A and B are shown apart, each in its own frame.
Chain A
Amino acid sequence: MSAHNNRPNIWQRLHIDLPLLIGLLALMGFGLVVIYSAGGEDLALMDRQLVRMGLSLVIMFAVAQINPEILRRWAFPIYIAGIILLLGVHFFGEINKGAQRWLNLGFMEFQPSELIKLAFPITMAWYISKFPLPPKKRYLAGAIVILLVPTLLIAKQPDLGTSILVAASGIFVLFLSGMSWRIVGGCVGAVLAMLPALWFFFMHDYQRTRVMTLLDPEKDPLGAGYHIIQSKIAIGSGGLWGKGWLDGTQSQLEFLPERHTDFIFAVIGEEFGLIGSLLLLTLYLYVIGRGLVIASRAQTSFARLLAGSITLTFFVYIFVNIGMVSGLLPVVGVPLPLISYGGTSMLTLMTGFGILMSIHTHRRFIDR
């Protein structure tokens, strides 16, 4: 054991992982630059986003102080509480934009699915890590129950984006735990087989329209296809170098809908071109890489699985959002992580990164 491991430096004592923090701050900074342009140079909007970022950083810092062992112990009760809240939403929730996602607690509105986003991977990691890895098939049934209950409840709200994120985070835990390839393949096959059933029994009309729109956006260019067509035009017209900051005509002249929230990537593509998109993807890849390094260096299975799941969920955000904005995936409400304007997802994501930092900085350095 080398000397510096025994004498943790200032960042370790603060439970901050500097390389990860730098990546996150770079993304947030980039996000602010883009939001300034996409939001029509609205300073009040910038203020609110800055406050959110500050709050998120504080929460990340706070969460980083919590020993992962505590999370492991509280995982299942929090999960149960989350499920109860989801059921509460189902029966007593407020309907907003046609979806029942919110729970009015009297003093604030609360989205239990955000809590589940965090509680679920912790629970999954807790459950799987109770057994020697790779897990035996007989433990799989429990894992599937833990996975399906929240996924279906959220999908029912309906909130397809979140349910995909939640399901993905669970599946990542299973995969990272060393589940045999046969079972992984079986699961993938099962999901594919489920798609038609999903289409006919679980999807709402507007969701089906979104899928149809993806396949042929030009069919209804002023209706369902409008978002995706304008978004592709914005990105495509950006070219290699982009039209320049504040000079994107698609965004500045408001042809692009949802330009500072879900479709903000189109603004990046338009104003900063392929170079800007490449820079953003590189930053993301860096953060994901760092997350997986943290996961690999973790000392317990629980920590490893949790860190891996959080990191890969972050990736799913990126992939689903950019895929949707650039016309590869149907439109689902997933923001571009750390860039899109809006609070909820940023708080959840930064809490997740807080957990990553906690895992990395609470290692006990023992002799081999």
Chain B
Amino acid sequence: MSPRKRITMNDHAAEASLFKRRALFTFLCVFVLLSLLLVNLYQLQILSYKDYETRSNDNRIRVVPVAPSRGLIYDRHGQLLAENQPFFSLEMVPEKVSDISGTLDKLSQVISLSSDEKETVIEALKYHRRFKPLTIKNRLTEEQVAEFSVNQHQFPGFSIEAGLKRHYPYNGLMTHALGYVGKINSRDKSSLERNNKWSNYAATKDIGKQGIEKFYESMLLGKPGHLEEEVNNRGRTIRTLKSEPPVPGQDIYLTLDLNLQKKAMELLNGRRGSVVAIDPRDGGILALLSSPTYDPNQFVHGISSKAYNELLNSTSKPLINRATQGQYAPASTVKPHLALLGLENKTVNRKTRIWDPGFWQIPGVERKYRDWKRWGHGWVDVNSAIVSSCDTYFYDLAYKTGVDAIANFMEPFGFGERTGVDIFEESAGIMPSKDWKRLRYNQPWYIGDTISVGIGQGYWTTTPLQLANATAILANKGRRFVPHMLKSIQDQTAKIDSPADELAPIVLKDPKNWDIINEAMRDTAHKSRFTDAKYTAAMKTGTAQVFSVAEDAKYDADTIDERLRDNALIIAYAPYENPKIVLAVVLENAGWGGANAGPVARALLDEYLLRDSWGDKK
């Protein structure tokens, strides 16, 4: 070997060993880098495993809430007042439909779709998320559902959704008692969220908006169930993993009597007014009518703003619940209560007589307070003062009693306070007193104010429900219940009666005073409206001025504007011996109480007490 070659050989050997060192080094680098990947995987798969497992499940598991069916509402005899009807709507997922306008045109040949409805859909699309279903048409008939189903293949992205919707079979008959359900709005939502109840509405779209539906919402609602579904990345359901059925809402029975309510509706015949009937034995409300009324079903499906504005702006104000929110001067219907106060305070006794010349004057004052009977009633005692509704007797009594004593006495009868009935739409009315006037008007009380209060006028206002309730307390001789509409609740197994809420009774110093007053009311009934009744009734009418007639002017119903005519009122109960029903009727601007409200009361008591076809014990 030549030296040159040896050097080359040495170089080859050196090159090889240099390469080996470098190769070993790179192998170490490779090992370190692969270990780095492994450390990262350890971090992902071991240390953060729980987190990624949760996120993986969030990806694949969709929890679909299932709406519970809303509890049904029955009357006291088991007549269905609010039911759930199957309801079909046509929905569309916008992103799955390529030519929406064209498809809608094609659709209108299958199910009738007006150009208005089409416009509405096109408009709604602008504010709608493309992957969420949009309702195209509500309340499909079964024929339309069938027609669409046959042609469904032509409409990818469209589907029929079935659900249950509230339906009130008697339409406007029960509106003010039952209320209605409507779509949950943002206000409902934030209120539910505040009370941690929002999760109960995961699948429910409607909520009780008024009346019984609102008051017993939590009972009627039930609890939603859940379906756990496995879905793929496009949201398509692969399989159901778990299912927890919903708990349906509880059915409830009301104290209302469908037939009595129907009769009241028929008697009022659209006139403005109200009827409240209570069973004095437990405070259960038998009828609660506010007239005119409206169809609650239109609210269930979303009332059009035109229809809503018509209701809102109607001069007869159908949206107001006259039975619990209408505030009327009670007029002569509270004379029995005032007389009771007079007896109890010993301001008068059963034999005290006063002379009525047709007017009354505050001692030493010239102004005359007129009796409704211009020529006067002559000598009157407490019984004849009630029977003939002598104003003069009560002017004098009120003057001698003073307004604060009246207010104190009337308070336990429920005047000036909410009765606590089981709907939220209730007003308190006004039971005036000196303090009240100072607070409200910052004015001193005048004696003249007291005189007006003495005949149930002036500042004194009551709701028909308060009037009926106060009458029930009279008929019950002091026994008091909170008026209510819930009778019983259908549990899974049994019908559980809802206990009546009894308040501490009113105890008189002399209990005989109850009898004096009730006898006077009985006499009132049987000397007029109930002369020929097959049962013994008690009653008192009232005619409330809507505006003040000048001191010496004559009120002439025929010449003044209808809206300024007197309100006609009556309270009544029967049977006298063992009261089963108490009534308060108010007819707005109807005129004389006895002549106008009287026949309504008589017909209702006849209906309730004499018709035996109802099967229930009377």
A232 touches B44 (CB 8 A): yes
Q: Say what secondary structure dominates the interface of chain B.
A: helix
Q: Which of A237, A296, A318 gathers the greatest number of chain B CB atoms within 10 Å? A: A237
- State how many residues of chain B have any CB contact under 8 Å with chain A: 39
| Known interface pairs A326-B40, A326-B44; A237-B19 also in contact (CB < 8 Å) | no
Contact of B42 with A by CB under 8 A? yes
B238: chain A residues at CB < 8 Å are 253
B26 touches A312 (CB 8 A): yes
A304 touches B19 (CB 8 A): yes
Q: Interface with A: B50-58, B250-258, B394-402, B550-558, which one?
A: B50-58
CA distance A296 to B17 in the complex (A): 9
Q: Which of A239, A273, A328 gathers the greatest number of chain B CB atoms within 10 Å? A: A239
Residue of A nearest to B34 (CB): A281
Contact of A203 with B by CB under 8 A? no
CA distance A178 to B23 in the complex (A): 10
Q: Tell me the minimal C-beta distance from B17 to chain A in angstroms.
A: 10
Q: Interface with A: B228-236, B424-432, B601-609, which one?
A: B228-236
Residue of B nearest to A318 (CB): B34
0/1 per residue, B37-75, Cβ < 8 Å to A? 110111011101101110111011000000000000000
Find B233's partner among A176, A237, A255 (CB 8 Å cutoff): A255
0/1 per residue, A268-288, Cβ < 8 Å to B? 010001100110010011001
Contact of B33 with A by CB under 8 A? yes
Find A237's partner among B30, B36, B52 (CB 8 Å cutoff): B52
B45 touches A322 (CB 8 A): no
CA distance A211 to B118 in the complex (A): 47
Find B60's partner among A238, A255, A305, A319 (CB 8 Å cutoff): A255
Find A253's partner among B34, B44, B55, B60 (CB 8 Å cutoff): B60
Interface positions of A from 288 to 312, Cβ below 8 Å from B:
288-289, 292, 295-296, 301, 304-305, 308, 312
Interface residues of A (CB under 8 A from B): 132-134, 172, 175-178, 230, 232-240, 249-250, 253-255, 269, 273-274, 277-278, 281, 284-285, 288-289, 292, 295-296, 301, 304-305, 308, 312, 315, 318-319, 322-323, 326-328
Contact of B27 with A by CB under 8 A? yes
Find A323's partner among B37, B46, B55 (CB 8 Å cutoff): B37
Contact of B31 with A by CB under 8 A? yes
CA distance A312 to B28 in the complex (A): 12
Contact of B18 with A by CB under 8 A? yes
CA distance A178 to B26 in the complex (A): 12
Would you list 23 pairs from A and B whose C-beta atoms are within 8 A, ordered by A residue?
A: A132-B11, A133-B19, A176-B23, A178-B15, A178-B18, A235-B41, A237-B49, A249-B59, A249-B60, A250-B60, A253-B233, A255-B232, A255-B233, A269-B41, A277-B41, A281-B38, A285-B34, A288-B27, A296-B16, A304-B16, A308-B26, A312-B26, A318-B34
| Known interface pairs A134-B18, A236-B51, A326-B44; A319-B33 also in contact (CB < 8 Å) | yes
Contact of B22 with A by CB under 8 A? yes
A239: chain B residues at CB < 8 Å are 45-46, 49, 53
Q: Tell me the minimal C-beta distance from A328 to chain B in angstroms.
A: 6
| Known interface pairs A255-B60, A328-B37; A296-B20 also in contact (CB < 8 Å) | yes
B53: chain A residues at CB < 8 Å are 236-237, 239
B23 touches A292 (CB 8 A): yes
Q: Tell me the minimal C-beta distance from B6 to chain A in angstroms.
A: 13
Find B44's partner among A133, A230, A235, A292 (CB 8 Å cutoff): A235
A178 touches B19 (CB 8 A): yes
Q: Tell me the minimal C-beta distance from A275 to chain B in angstroms.
A: 9
Residue of B nearest to A281 (CB): B34
B45 touches A178 (CB 8 A): no
B60 touches A172 (CB 8 A): no
Q: Tell me the minimal C-beta distance from A3 to chain B in angstroms.
A: 24
CA distance A359 to B524 in the complex (A): 127
| Known interface pairs A176-B23, A232-B44, A235-B41; A288-B56 also in contact (CB < 8 Å) | no
A237 touches B46 (CB 8 A): no
Q: Which of B33, B34, B57 gathers the greatest number of chain A CB atoms within 10 Å? A: B34
A285 touches B233 (CB 8 A): no
Residue of B nearest to A134 (CB): B18
A255 touches B34 (CB 8 A): no
CA distance A178 to B34 in the complex (A): 24
A233 touches B18 (CB 8 A): no
B27 touches A292 (CB 8 A): yes
Q: Tell me the minimal C-beta distance from B241 to chain A in angstroms.
A: 11
B30: chain A residues at CB < 8 Å are 285, 288, 312, 315
B42 touches A274 (CB 8 A): yes
CA distance A130 to B65 in the complex (A): 75
CA distance A237 to B58 in the complex (A): 11
Residue of A nearest to B231 (CB): A253
A240: chain B residues at CB < 8 Å are 45-46, 49
